[in-house]
């Protein structure tokens, strides 16, 4: 039986109640860990709430730079969009949080890890599978999944035990966010026919007018500058969220397939993420050799599935990371984006080691393509089809003289 547990602590109702519930029902000591991943709102009250609920210790870590560098950057390089739309906002933060939980467990001599996930969502998989990979010796606790409380039950429990939480029965939406984007679910949006109300959008409120151009610079697949100004990836993401979000672009409304086997209507806003990934993929069009680009495109959905399914720490993910890092060796250059209200499009791209050769592509006097070579190329390229047609294709002698056809 576990004696001391490190809880991934959000400061919300469920994790605050979980602190006291585990103390009373499991007889454990609780250490709380909160991570700053660039989410909205203040974390100042978390310490008071965690200790007020009975935790023996509370630690808060600034993980923004590490999150951008080690977790977001691979997503950009791989153009990782789950089911072609979702930039894996929530899925990305979980393996980093678990990594820090494990480090803290070693420091505090804890023998268990805990999370505040329900049994219906994806995050329970991400927390627990990551923990299995990093620390298989630690016990895994999931109080929220097991206690059977409704939201009303949790509020009542908090009130009865003097747990300092700010929660009401009227809260309509479940929000999970970090610097890479924002996920909104529940409320009327559980009906896939219902249009999301304007009030749910925060990052993509249309405030800009006219049009604007933004030039994003990349080095080996990673964004490093905006309009010529060099920044850390964390700063690039924050600035692109601000710039692109002001044009009301970057919303996602989809029905996605959860790992637990159900379909779920999800809404996201990720203006910076979607704009940066669009620019990156476009830069690859002039810097990746054809077969490399096609094979990478084929692997991108599989990579996204691994991250979504909680397999960040896995042999296949590690092998694919080596592949994508190799592919990005020459993905260095700039992409120009044009922004108008509700739209973001690529209008130009350039790279020092571009594979686009004007002398080969042009039809004007600078044309260096040897047109005469194409005659033999086309003949050999079509040879197999011609052979097939001669023997059994639509123009073959046997087909033309079938019985009953004169």
**123, 124, 127, 132 alpha-carbon torsion, rounded to 10°:** -140
Q: CA triplet 344, 350, 356: central angle to 5 degrees?
A: 115
Can you tell me the distance from the alpha carbon of 291 to that of 142, in angstroms, rounded to the nearest whole number? Answer: 45
Query: Do residues 6 and 141 touch, judged by C-beta distance below 8 A?
Result: no
Strand order in the sheet with 57-62: 57-62, 29-36, 4-8, 112-114, 139-141
Q: Could you give phi then psi for residue 147, rounded to 5 degrees?
A: -80, -20
Which positions are annotated as active-site residues?
14, 94, 123, 174
Can you tell me the distance from the alpha carbon of 208 to that of 219, in angstroms, rounded to the nearest whole number? Answer: 29
Q: What is the number of other CB atoms lying within 10 angstroms of the CB of residue 266?
A: 20
Where are the extended beta strands (E) located within 98-231?
112-114, 139-141, 174-178, 181-185, 212-219, 222-226, 229-230
- CB within 8 A of 117, min separation 6: which ones? 123, 124, 127, 142, 144, 145
Query: Do residues 76 and 275 touch, judged by C-beta distance below 8 A?
Result: no
DSSP 8-state symbol, 267: E
Q: Could you give phi then psi for residue 259, rounded to 5 degrees?
A: -65, -30
């Amino acid at each position: 039986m576990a004696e001391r547990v490190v809880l991934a602590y959000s400061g919300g109702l469920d994790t605050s109640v979980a602190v006291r519930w585990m103390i009373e029902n499991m007889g454990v000591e609780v250490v709380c860990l909160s991570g700053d991943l660039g989410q909205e709102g203040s974390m100042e009250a978390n310490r008071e709430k965690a200790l007020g609920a009975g935790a023996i210790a509370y630690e808060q870590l600034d993980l923004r730079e590490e999150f951008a560098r080690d977790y977001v950057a691979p997503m950009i390089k791989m153009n990782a969009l789950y089911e072609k739309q979702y930039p894996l906002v929530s899925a990305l933060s979980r393996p980093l949080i678990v990594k820090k939980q494990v480090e803290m467990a070693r420091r505090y001599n804890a023998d268990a890890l805990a999370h505040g996930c329900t049994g219906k969502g994806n995050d329970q998989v991400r927390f627990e599978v990551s923990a299995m990979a990093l620390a298989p010796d630690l016990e895994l606790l999931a109080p929220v999944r097991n206690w059977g409380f409704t939201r009303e039950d949790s509020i009542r429990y908090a009130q009865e035990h003097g747990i300092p939480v700010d929660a009401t029965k009227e809260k309509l939406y479940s929000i999970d966010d970090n610097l890479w984007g924002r996920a909104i679910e529940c409320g009327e949006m559980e009906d896939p026919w219902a249009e999301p109300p304007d009030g749910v959008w925060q990052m993509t409120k249309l405030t800009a007018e006219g049009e604007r151009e933004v030039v994003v610079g990349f080095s080996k697949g990673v964004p490093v500058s905006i309009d010529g100004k060099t920044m850390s990836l964390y700063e690039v993401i924050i600035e692109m969220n601000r710039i692109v979000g002001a044009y009301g672009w970057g919303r996602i409304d989809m029905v996605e397939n959860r790992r637990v086997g159900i379909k779920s209507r999800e809404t996201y806003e990720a203006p910076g993420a979607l704009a940066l990934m669009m620019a990156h993929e476009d830069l690859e069009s002039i810097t990746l050799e054809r077969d490399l680009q096609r094979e990478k495109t084929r692997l991108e959905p599989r990579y996204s599935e691994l991250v979504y399914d909680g397999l960040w720490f896995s042999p296949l993910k590690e092998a694919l990371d080596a592949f994508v890092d190799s592919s990005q060796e020459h993905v260095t250059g700039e992409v120009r984006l044009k922004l108008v209200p509700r739209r973001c499009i690529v209008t130009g791209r350039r790279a020092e080691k571009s594979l686009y050769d004007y002398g080969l592509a042009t039809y004007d006097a600078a044309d260096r393509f040897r047109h005469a070579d194409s005659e033999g190329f086309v003949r050999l390229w079509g040879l197999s089809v011609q052979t097939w047609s001669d023997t059994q294709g639509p123009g073959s002698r046997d087909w033309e003289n079938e019985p009953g056809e004169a």
